[in-house]
Amino acid sequence: MFSDYNELGRKILEISENLIASVSVPLPADQSLPMYEITVPDTSDKVNMSIGDLRFWQCTGATIVAIKRGQNINVSPGPYAVLHAGDIVVYTGPSNSRVAVQQLFTSGRTQNTLYLIQEQINTAVHMKELSIVADILGARLGDISDFVTMDKGMTNHSYLFSCKGNRYILRIPGEGTVNIIDRVQEAKVYRAIAGTGLCDDVVYINPNNGLKVTHFLDGVRTCDPYDDNDVKKCMTMLRRFHGIRLTVEHSFDIFGNIEHYESLWEGQPSKHENYAQTKANIMSLKAFVEENRTEYCLTHIDAVPDNFLFHPVNGVEQLQLTDWEYAGMQDPHVDIAMFCLYSLYDRSHIDRLIDFYFEGSCDERTRIKIYCYIAACGLLWSNWSEYKRVLGVEFGDYAEHQYTYAEKYYEIARREMEKL
């Protein structure tokens, strides 16, 4: 045992400049370590959070010594101690940690700590997630560095970061995605495809808030939809994926989601004057689609050229399919339609892609069914874009093209049906 508290204080300073050791006995007022207090306000997002989840030292550089709750004092609280509103947190650390502690408990933000990062992700919630990621990677939060904003996706925001010599991608869900993506379902999809070689296994995914960490692929390029060699390889991979016949508990309902995305417009009308008629036309295709659906399995739903990634492995180019957040049980031929839509193919290119996938053996009813899917999914993504517009996110020509596909391929599908 130490003979006095001053000796204890000196020993702690010797162990770590960052004061990572906790104090196991109460310290009197004349001890040698600087002590500070902060009261947890009832508006703080730290209320009901455990000390372990708080990641106090990583976020502030200080160490909690005790928690005062009324007449009770919990000295050196363990990681499972839970904070209550009105608690007085007693902590020790460098004087410059006080600002960070103040912000941590009052504003819920940690912008002025040593550790970060980018305005979009520099919140207490994201700091907590990154601390978990650091643990998974066998690192400390301070080992995570070099954050770079990547190209903004249509659904999410992505950031490149480094940790202990390796690079990773952090995905943060974009505006309004809570209404269109079920993150619990997404996590189940990643479990279903694990070990199939379709894509790298995720490093970390949180099914509650959608944060995801994946390995960064060096030298990656996306599929060129107008390069036949690229497209053939992508269709071969898509056919292999569909052939595995993976299953999950949830489905992706195209016609149901057309209605769902429309319901998110907050009562605003479509910007398309003939929307009601176009929607009625698309809904009339449902019967033909259901009559001619012969397969039902896990389907990617967002199998667009940008999600097919070519990358070198030991000098040989490999291919993987990424971004599975919309995936669910569906007719796998929907993935063919999605590839066509995003590529802005004309009819000749669409027929060419169908032939690549089916290796020249697509029957006429299946081809017409794919035309129906192009029309229906065109309206689906048009409605999705209109929801994003309500949130202040514009996709310009992309949204217009999708609506045009809905109109045009309804007519094409109808004409072809009449020939049967």
By the 10 Å C-beta count (0-12 exposed, 13-18 middle, 19+ buried), 346 is classed as: exposed
pLDDT along the chain (420 residues), means of 10: 45 40 39 73 77 73 84 79 86 75 63 40 56 80 77 73 88 81 95 94 87 90 97 98 98 98 94 98 98 98 97 94 97 99 98 98 98 99 93 86 98 98
Q: Which CATH architecture has domain 5-106?
A: 2-Layer Sandwich (3.30)
Q: Which CATH superfamily is domain 219-419 in?
A: Aminoglycoside phosphotransferase (APH), C-terminal lobe (3.90.1200.10)
Q: Which of 171, 29, 19, 143 lies closest to 93 in space, CA to CA?
A: 19
3-state secondary structure at position 215: strand
How would you classify the pairing of strands 221-222 and 204-205? unpaired
pTM above 0.85, yes or no: no
Q: Whole-angstrom Cα distance, residue 368 to residue 356?
A: 16
Q: What is the pLDDT of residue 13?
A: 44
The half-sphere exposure of 93 on its side-chain side, counting CA atoms within 13 A, is: 24
pLDDT at 129: 65
Beta strands in 356-415 (DSSP E): none
Domain residue spans of the chain: 5-106, 124-214, 219-419
Same fold, 5-106 and 219-419: no
In contact, 306 and 220? CB cutoff 8 Å: no
Give which of 246, 174, 240 is closest to 209, Cα–Cα: 174
The domain 124-214: what is its CATH number? 3.30.200.20
Cβ-in-10-Å burial (0-12, 13-18, 19+) of 29 comes to exposed
H or E segment at 377? Answer: helix 364-390
Is the CB of residue 292 less than 8 Å from the CB of residue 369? yes
Question: Cβ(104)–Cβ(59) under 8 Å?
Answer: yes
